[in-house]
Amino acid sequence: MMKSLLNGILLALVAAAYGLWFGVRVAAYPFSLLRRRLGRA
């Protein structure tokens, strides 16, 4: 019982970290494009 609960918590932590990383990447993508375009102009 305790081990499965710990497994679930660990899985949720990994999923949250991956979701946060993915969200940051997606949010930063347009900014990097814009910065590259501004640097070229």
State the Cα torsion 19-25-28-32 to the nearest 10°: -170
* pLDDT, tens digit, 9 for 90 and up, residues 9-40: 999 999 999 999 999 999 999 889 888 888 87
Give the pLDDT score at 39.
Answer: 85
Radius of gyration for the alpha carbons in the chain, expressed in angstroms and rounded: 18
Q: What is the pTM of this model?
A: 0.58
